A = this chain, B = another copy of it.
């Protein structure tokens, strides 16, 4: 009688593909950044501002995830940044396999950073590793200061919390202290950046930190 071999899969299929993606990016010394946020929090604007700030020093590529449309990819492409648009149809998050196809379509030897802009959603994307090194959530001031308490999963899981649209603080009810405390209650290790993609305020601190991460990746 033949012995039946049982292989226990510790990782699910998505995580295995995510590991392959991580290997692909590592081989090319590319820093992978998974950008997650509510709809309209400023994911594409952050990519564009970051590319502008790092122009001539670091080369950026982008994967855009949306249910439909290529509005974001068009914005990125018009800034001369290599970009692949993924339309998920109804899916509320990106997955590693779809991202792998997009990674392979990008000019990897020419890139230092790959931004993967996830579908606008504070819940589902966090369950799916894509092969990124750094996970970022962008919160924005008009969404309110209670978001960490309401969406603890994502605020717990990320390496970086970016608070965007700081220029709108005078016009909305928002307590910066409450926001900071909400993040810190869930996540002591996350880096926090407070900025405005519209005014440019605070962008430099973020891009300097990001640049240091790219250099660490190349060592």
Question: A213 interface residue, CB < 8 Å from B?
Answer: no
A119 to B152, alpha carbons, bound, how many Å?
13
Candidates B41, B67, B146, B167; contact of A123 at CB < 8 Å: B67
CB distance from A195 to the nearest CB of B (A): 15
Q: Do A146 and B38 touch (CB < 8 A)? A: no
**A69 close to B (CB within 8 Å):** yes
The verdict on A150 contacting B198 (CB below 8 Å), with A124-B124, A171-B167 known, is no
Q: How many copies does the complex hold?
A: 2
What string of 1s and 0s marks CB contacts (under 8 Å) between A127-144 and chain B? 000000000000010111
CA distance A38 to B120 in the complex (A): 9
Kindly state whether residue A192 has any CB partner on chain B within 8 Å. no
By beta carbon, the residue of chain B nearest A93 is: B123
Are B90 and A150 interface neighbours, CB within 8 A? no
Q: Does A122 sit at the interface, judged by CB under 8 A? A: yes
Q: Which of B67, B92, B149, B171 contacts A92 (CB 8 A)?
A: B92
- Taking a contact as CB atoms closer than 8 A, the residue among B40, B92, B147, B149 that contacts A121 in the complex is B92
Chain B residues contacting A69 (CB-CB under 8 Å) are 146, 149-150
Would A71 and B40 be within 8 Å (CB), given that A121-B122, A123-B119, A171-B168 are in contact?
no
A151: interface (CB < 8 Å): yes
Q: Is the CB of A39 within 8 A of B122?
A: yes
Tell whether A66 is near chain B: CB-to-CB under 8 Å.
Answer: yes
A36 to chain B, nearest CB (A): 12
The answer, yes or no, to whether A29 is at the interface (CB within 8 Å) is no
User: Is the CB–CB distance between A150 and B38 below 8 Å?
Assistant: no
Q: Which residues of B contact A71 (CB under 8 A)?
A: 146, 149-150
